Each structure stands twice: as C-alpha cells, then as structure tokens.
Amino acid sequence: MLLTVLKLLGCIALLMYGMKVMSEALQKMAGPGLRHILGAMTTNRFTGVLTGMLVCVAVQSSAATTVMTVSFVNAALLTLAQAISVIMGANIGTTLSAWIMSAGFSFNITVLVWPVFLIAVVLIQFRKHRYLGDFLFGLSFMFFALGTLNATGREMDLAGNEQIVGFFASFDSTKYVTILLFVFIGAVLTFIAQSSAALMAITMVLCTSGVLTIYQGIALVMGENIGTTITANIAAMSANTQARRAALAHLVFNLFGVMWMLCFFYPFVNTACRIVGVDPAMAGDSPARLSFVLATFHTMFNVTNTIILIWFIPQIEKFVSYIIPQKESDSEFRLMYIRSGIMKTPELGVFQAQKETELFADRMCQLFSEVQELYKITDDGDFQKKFDRIAELENMSDRLESEIGKYLAQVGNAHLSDETKRKVRCLLRGVSELESIGDSCFNLARIMDRKRREKSTFTPAQEQGITEMFSLLSEALSRMEGVLQGTVDEARSFEIENQIDMLRNRLRAQNTVDVDEGKYSFAVGTIYMDLVRECEKCGDYVINVVESKKGKRETE
C-alpha cells in the first residue's frame, strides 16, 4: 500500500513538472508576443477578458498568467482595471487544464505518449526547434502522469476500502456544513501544494474511484479557486501598491464567485451533471464521467462568474484601492518595478529589469542636474548641503546597480531563450555604465569642492567652456534616456559624443596656451581641465549605455 501511495505522489509530481516544462516552453516560443498581446488587446474590459483567456490557454497556467499580469501592473504597463479584466479571462482559460485532465482519466492516452516523447527528443537535439521539443516533452510528461495516475487510482481500489469510504461517507453531502468544510480543505491544500492542477488531479482520482461524492469533489474544486489566489497575494506583498491591488482583485473575484455559488450550489451542480449525462442521484454508477462533470462545472462556474462581475470592474477597482491605500515612497531611490517575490516567469523578469534600468537612467539625469546647480552655488552653506545631497544620490546609485545586478543574475540562472540571454547581458552592461555615470557626477562635485576650498576663480572663457561642456553632456544624457525608452534613435548620441571629444581637445589646447601666457595659474588650469576631462569621461559612459541598448560590443 505504501508503494502505491508513493507512486500516486510521484505521478502528481510528474504532472506538475510536465505542466511547468510545457508552460515555460510556450512562454519562450511566444516571447514578446504575449507582452504585445497584453498591451494591445486590453483596450476595454471585454478584450481584456479575451486576452487573459488566450494567454492562459497559451501558457497553460493561470498562476503564470496572473503573476505576469501583476508584474505588468508593477511595471506600469497595465492599469489596474486592465489587469482585473485579464485575470477574469485567465480564470476561464485555466478551465482547459481541467478538460485535458478529464480526457486523461477517461481514455488510455499513454499509448500516444511514447512517439511524442521520441519526436520531442529529436526536436530538442535540433536547437532551431528546441522550444517546440520542450513543449512536446512537457505535454508528454503531463499525459503520461495522467494515465499513470488513473491506473494507480484503480490499483489502490479506494472504493473497496471500507474505512476510507466510511470516513468520507460520514460527511453528509446534502448539508451546507459539509460543502463549506470541503471548500476550506480545497483552499488549504491548494495553497500548500502551490498548484490547483495537482489538487484537481487528486480530486478526479477520488471521484472516479468512488470515494468522494460529486458534491464533495466540486466543493474541493471551488476551494481550489480560492487557494490559487493566495499564492499570488503572498508573492505580491513586496510589490508596489497597484500590483498588490491587482492580486487582491483576483482574490475578491474568486471569493465572491464562491460565495454566490454556495447559494445556488445544488441546482448548479445538478445542471452540470445533466449536461454531461449523469444522474446526480446515481453519479456513483458512472465514475468515468465524473471527471467530465468536474471540468464542466469548473468551466460553467468561471464563465458565469466573469459574466456577472465584468460589469463591476470599476467597483472592484475602487474596493481594492480602499483596502490597500496608496503609500508614500520610503525612499525615492528604492526599486519601483523589481520585486523578487513576484519573479515567477523569468522571461518577464528581464522586462521588469528593463523598466527599472530606464528609471535608473532618469535618476542619473537628475543627479547631473544637481551637479549643474552645485556649480552655480556661491554660498558655502548651500554648497555643502547640495554636495551632501549629491553624495547621498551617488551612494544610492551604487545600491541600485547592486540590486538590479543581483536580480538580473537571478533571472539569468533560469532557462531563457538566446534572445533573452542577450538582453540580460546588455542590461548588465547598461546598469554598470549607469553607475559609472553616478561616480563621474560625484567626481565632478568633488572637483568643484576643491575649486571652492582653494578659492580658484575661472576666467569668462573658462566659464564659457564649462557651460558648453555641460550643455552637450546634458543633451547626451537626455538622448540616452530616449534611446533606452525606445523613443529616439542613437545616431544623434554618437554625434554629441564626437562633439564632446572635439570640445575637450579644443579646451585642452586653449588651456595650454592660456597658462603659458599667464592668464591664470597652473593650479587653476589643472582644476579646469579636471572638470573638462571628467565631463568627457561621463560622455563615454553615456555612449556605452546607448551601445548596450543596441547590444553593441563594448568600445575600447
């Protein structure tokens, strides 16, 4: 008996693994397509539901779709209202998994698995089609697990075990207390297993074996709908306010659905039974069809719940916004888009890091603006306050590089497509160069501090040279932001870089002449050229960021 139980648990583990491999392969094949679909097809609540349904069917995971949606809200790519409609659609799309499982419990599909395994392995060997091979490999695992699970259920002969049958029979399925208890059990087990698909498979085994009544089995399915939302809410705890609201909206949606379903539970279940052709009173006489009853109910429940609540998306949005109020940011330099707790889909993690990198670039532009203001300050007290502010911002830029880099390293350890791996490398380089811009800005501030302490005064010609250099560097930083956001091309950035180099050479040559002619001291000329050289160096870092966006090789 122990061996059979271990075999049963092994089948469930194999089922979860197969679905995971299949889902990840589909996400890799789809690539940016899923993101474009989510962005382009969520113009209203109805297209949002359709989008969520299609994406969930594509990746075969409501959890992956929900986490993806929450992450997009976290990255400000979707509004909260759009996310709610997508999550509603994902709840409908996930019912396909129940139908696939019910087919596995009703037909002997394991005979088809072996040739598919062979095709999958062959495709994996040919790198051009390896993602399709991964998908077929995961699909084969899933069907093999379902077939073995069905056979193991029959081997266990649970219906012949009087103790087990008697235990479940002690719960009167005609009483709401029993239904509520099984809903609670379903929610808890789904949360523990972290997979609604696993519990759905177990429920089908117990129902088709004659251990559970159809009412008890469907109560477990209802609990699964609640349990699967708890994971997303826990994962979103470290995300921003809008992302946590999206995860809560998923819980509210499913919880409300279960509440109204309990009011019409028996008529609704009886209707699902009649659609499949099963007499609710004699359901135990046709165990093979009970898996289809579960799938039918699951579909009816989620479709009906969506039809009811799709009209109340604005109200749901207001409710979750009231429950989770907006909070002031603890630190202006904290990560806004990256939250390691919700990085369940590695491919998506790259795009969250990309959004964070764009924000990093914006902050470096702000830092340089602070440096420009520092240069104009003459009061010692105000100068010191501004200098301390720049030092603080530079320290925060170091933290940003460290945190984004660690996140990208975590993403890079996952199984990624070649294109996504290239993007990870480019982002790592870009983040490193952005931090160097922060260092360069602080170096400029230190040179200005030295100029103040030594009471050095620049000539009008030197002031003009610094103004020209700051102007070019400011434009370079602004163009860098546009390149990272994809709003401008990089051609002008290279022109500015050449202008900075030529200006540096001109100012250096003129400085040598002016020092020789005694227009100012060598010490003043040294401070002046230190500022010019640091600006030119900062310009090099800027162009390196631009090149990293385009995936070009690092300049010598």
Confirm if 183 and 223 have CB atoms less than 8 A apart: yes
Domain boundaries, the chain: 2-323, 352-550
CA torsion sign, 358 to 360 to 365 to 366? positive
How large is the average pLDDT for residues 209-234?
A: 80
Strands (E), 366-424: none
Per the model's pLDDT, the better-predicted residue between 230 and 299 turns out to be 299
Average pLDDT, the chain: 79
Is the model more confident about 167 or about 89? 89
SS3 for 169? helix
Report whether 453 contacts 515 (CB < 8 A).
no
Question: How high is the pLDDT of residue 330?
Answer: 40
49 HSE (CA, 13 A, CB side): 16
CATH architecture of 352-550: Up-down Bundle (1.20)
pLDDT band at 287 (very low <50, low <70, confident <90, very high): low
Least confident of 173-182, 275-284, 426-435, 517-526: 275-284
* Mean pLDDT within 156-161: 56
Residue 326 has pLDDT above 60, yes or no: yes
Q: Cα 151 to chain center, whole Å? A: 38
Q: What angle do CA 69, 72, 78 make, to 5 degrees?
A: 90
d(CA 270, CA 281) in angstroms, rounded, equals 9
More confident residue, 443 or 210: 443
pLDDT at residue number 10: 79
Alpha carbons 67 and 148: distance in angstroms, whole number: 30
pLDDT tens, position by position, 111-146? 677 787 888 888 887 767 777 788 788 777 777 776
Residues 366-408: tens digit of each pLDDT = 999 999 999 999 888 899 999 998 998 888 888 888 888 888 8
SS (H, E, C) 191-257: HHHCCHHHHHHHHHHHHHCCCCCHHHHHHHHHHHHHHHHHHHHHHHHHCCHHHHHHHHHHHHHHHHH
96-105, 267-276, 460-469: which is most confident: 460-469
Residue matched to tokens 């995961």: 138
Band (pLDDT 50/70/90 cuts) for residue 555 is very low
Q: Report pLDDT for 435.
A: 92
| pLDDT value of position 384 | 92
